Chain A
């Protein structure tokens, strides 16, 4: 045992990585099935319910479907068209999948285990691959911006106009929505006083106020931005099937296509993780999980269950939105990013900074109770003001009818008549 002691943290990290990657990959496969069920439910049909245990008649509600799909796409011919840039064409899916898996090094997937009492291991054991990383939020932010490369390179290397357009659209969209995403993150970081995601969860558990309630505007901004970053349906312009065939992965097939699709799903899972951890209290649930760092085995399990349930609920929300909303047009997408979400994000950040600056004085003057009420009421006031302002200043619809004129003077005459 003593000879193993120096390697124990490494072994613990490897075990966590194994659990996390295995769990994520399985989850991604079965979430595809859930998404198809959801689609079937929204569209009032049955969905995949046939595939069960092979060579028997047992159907098991279609639970064998992901295995069959995965086997099929892996065994398909991995076809590389002749007109592609081979190096980047091969690298793109690898880059995007590696980046979206590496994100999870800094994302906690539970609270802590009770002390194991193994010498050489820090107690209590956190549900986190890299507990020493002090910049967890920034790590997530950095790697989600690396994922753009996969899309951009995939689109460019395909040497196909649809793929190229998809890549360009995607990069413009991701760069635009990274800013509101960062503003949403910053508000939470400022309130929690830490860049570590587990510390952010602990802060919410201790105060009992989830940041979705303390910073409603920040929550909305972050939600919209993370939908856009995950390229889910109201924002799925990078691969709009009706316009771009498949977008940046038009030319891909077989296992490379699978890598792209898994990475896309992982983006959604990451977004769900972040929304839950940063705004919905993480593993905390009032009266169920407690808030201290000392846990029993049962407590640790309950916290893991609460976190997973919340994440699954957010993922279901993502899917429901996908099957119920139409897609934005590109100018609407950009207007929303730069003219609505960005100012709202700045408003949220300023509010949070002001509150956090004056919180000690307020507590000193008014006592903890009234100060807490003010600190909760002010963001909500800003939320409604921002909502009203956004509604009044930005038209909900745009007039798309082209002005059919021969010269500018005619157009002006028409406008004057109107």
Chain B
């Protein structure tokens, strides 16, 4: 897992080219009302070129099998994320998003973050996106109006996204190429887990392999040890949201009842309340 030396100057032009190609490709692909087949083909080709350039600037993972699987799942994630924003049909966008989430979960699994990978599928693909699909299918069975199908600022949004992508690639490339490379982070995490995790589940201090035994127990120890306040805060936030949703619904019913009362006398109000 030794990273290849990364030279920002050598890969700089490549990265800049990749960013420019991404901008052009997204601009051509985003739904902007033109909808010519040749433009979309050109956009897709440019996008593939940009993707290849981004891959070329990245560093190697080591291990042929691991690298191949990583490449496949990450390509699935990236391509379906792009397809999410360029597809015209909302249902297809949701499906592409689901596929992108599956790709992200695959990336996390390959990297050894099993819990995060599976939780991504459970929470996003399993619950949230199903709700999206449910609503999309219920709301507009006949499809969207034409003016709803075009992107509002295709050029600016493509530019912003691509520039963000380029900056992130550059900084991550620099970080991982520097002396304090990838293997710094897991060691620190393991060391902190040892001090905070419950004694029964505390792993041996030398274990750095993320696929080791008790992966979830270590994650849980970390979450409920160092990050206890954050976890509790998130829990309270969700509880507040839940109570708020219930309050909105019941207030709506009460208002409905009161309306009925004023309109038709007290008897009707009592019925509505029932």
Contact = CB atoms under 8 A, between A and B. Distances in A.
Contacts of A175: 127, 130-131, 134
A238 B119 CA distance: 27
Interface residues of A, number: 33
Interface of B: 91-92, 95, 98, 114-115, 118-119, 121-122, 125-127, 130-131, 133-134, 137-138, 141, 211, 213-216, 260, 264-265, 267-268, 270-271
Nearest to A161: B141
A172 B134 contact: yes
Contact of B115 (A135, A141, A168): A135
A407 B214 CA distance: 65
Ranked nearest first, the 4 interchain pairs of A and B with the lowest CB-CB distance are A145-B126, A412-B267, A142-B121, A408-B268
Given A149-B95, A171-B130, A409-B265, 8 more contacts: A138-B115, A138-B118, A141-B122, A152-B137, A156-B91, A174-B130, A408-B267, A411-B271
A291 B114 CA distance: 29
A147 to B, nearest CB: 10
Contact of A134 (B92, B98, B214, B268): B214
B138 A168 contact: yes
Interface string A196-215: 00000000000000000000
Contacts of B115: 134-135, 138
A413 B264 CA distance: 13
Interface string A265-277: 0000000000000
19 contacts: A88-B91, A133-B114, A134-B214, A134-B215, A135-B118, A135-B216, A142-B126, A148-B126, A152-B130, A171-B133, A172-B134, A175-B127, A175-B130, A175-B131, A408-B268, A409-B264, A409-B268, A412-B267, A415-B271
A205 to B, nearest CB: 20
B32 to A, nearest CB: 23
A178 B127 contact: yes
Interface in A149-178: 149, 152-153, 156, 164, 167-168, 171-172, 174-175, 178
Contacts of B91: 88, 156
Nearest to B91: A156
A81 to B, nearest CB: 17
A411 B270 CA distance: 11
A333 to B, nearest CB: 16
Nearest to B131: A175
B270 A145 contact: no
Interface of A: 88, 132-135, 138-139, 141-143, 145-146, 148-149, 152-153, 156, 164, 167-168, 171-172, 174-175, 178, 195, 407-409, 411-413, 415
A142 B271 contact: no
Nearest to A91: B95
A363 to B, nearest CB: 15
Contacts of A143: 121
A139 B127 contact: no
Contacts of B127: 145, 175, 178
Q: Pick from B98, B115, B122, B134 the residue with the most CB of A within 10 Å.
A: B122
Nearest to B114: A135
Nearest to A148: B130
Contacts of B260: 408
Contacts of A153: 95
B131 A195 contact: no
Contacts of B134: 152, 168, 171-172, 175
Contacts of B95: 88, 149, 153
Nearest to B274: A415
A395 B203 CA distance: 51
A146 B216 contact: no
Contacts of A168: 134, 137-138
A123 B203 CA distance: 22
A168 B130 CA distance: 10
B271 A408 contact: yes
Contacts of B214: 134
A412 B125 contact: no
Contacts of A132: 211
A152 B134 CA distance: 8
Contacts of B122: 138, 141-142, 145
